[in-house]
């Protein structure tokens, strides 16, 4: 029975929904998890009013510079979109040097409910969710995750 249920869910696209996403950044570039097979993918949820979020942005940018484009991809998803230009300006001011995605109607459907900020999800090179944290991260933490040493 379990195999039939799983096959049905896969056919409906429901079983894999938690491990697949497609978002468009503020430059109009589409990012699909499937396009990054073989790379670690870090998705960071943040907001301009979130002090811990702002403090971690330079750490995440350092990680991205050290591991992109060959080993890792970083995407930042802003959850407090009041205006595209205002959010982009704030992101630049905070050192956000990786693709910026604005929260959309389908964000929760694709990633699940974000219970607090900042939240970071790391997908392994096979596209499976490997790690998730509510709270700030550092470059060192992210490097430990992709080295298989936890975080």
Give the pLDDT score at 3. Answer: 39
As a whole number, mean pLDDT of residues 81-108 equals: 93
Estimate the crossing angle of helix 51-67 against helix 84-94, to 10 degrees: 70
Task: Look at residue 82 in the predicted model and tell me its pLDDT.
Answer: 76
Model pLDDT for residues 28-82, shown as the tens digit of each residue: 999 999 999 999 999 999 999 999 999 999 999 999 999 988 999 999 999 987 7
* Residue 107, domain member (yes or no): yes
Does residue 132 form part of some domain? yes
Is the model's pLDDT at 99 over the cut of 50? yes
CB 79 within 8 A of CB 117: yes
Residue 13 within a domain: no
Task: Look at residue 62 and tell me if it is in a domain.
Answer: yes
pLDDT, residue 19, reads 63
Find the mean pLDDT for residues 86-100: 96
| Averaged pLDDT, 121-150 | 96
pLDDT digits (tens, 9 = 90+) for 114-127: 999 999 999 999 99
Sign of CA dihedral 19, 126, 13, 4: negative
* Domain-embedded: residue 6: no
Q: pLDDT higher for 149 or 31?
A: 31
Residue 18: band (very low, low, confident or very high) from pLDDT cuts 50, 70, 90 = very low
Residue 113 domain boundaries: 18-146
Domain count, the chain: 1
- Segment 23-29 shows an average pLDDT of 96
Please give the backbone phi and psi of residue 63, each rounded to the nearest 5 degrees, phi first.
-60, -45
- Examine residue 84 and state whether it is found in any structural domain, yes or no: yes
User: What is the C-alpha to C-alpha distance for residues 103 and 92, in angstroms, rounded to an integer?
Assistant: 17
Assess contact for 38 and 125: CB atoms under 8 A: yes
Return the CATH number at 50.
3.40.30.10
Instruction: For 6-17, write each residue's pLDDT tens digit.
Output: 333 333 333 334
């Amino acid at each position: 029975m379990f195999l039939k249920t799983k096959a049905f869910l896969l056919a409906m696209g429901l079983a894999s929904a938690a491990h697949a996403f497609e978002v468009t950044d503020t430059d109009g570039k589409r990012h699909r998890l499937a396009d990054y097979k073989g790379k670690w993918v870090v998705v960071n949820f943040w907001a301009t009013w979130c002090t811990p979020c702002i403090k971690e942005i330079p750490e995440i940018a350092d990680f991205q510079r050290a591991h992109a484009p060959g080993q890792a991809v970083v995407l930042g998803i802003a959850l407090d979109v009041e205006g595209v230009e205002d959010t982009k300006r704030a992101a630049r001011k905070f050192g956000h040097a990786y693709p910026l995605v604005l929260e959309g109607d389908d964000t929760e459907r694709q990633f699940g409910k974000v219970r607090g900020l900042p939240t970071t999800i790391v997908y392994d090179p096979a596209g499976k969710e490997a790690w998730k944290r509510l709270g700030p991260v550092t470059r060192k933490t992210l490097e430990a995750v992709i080295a298989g040493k936890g975080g």
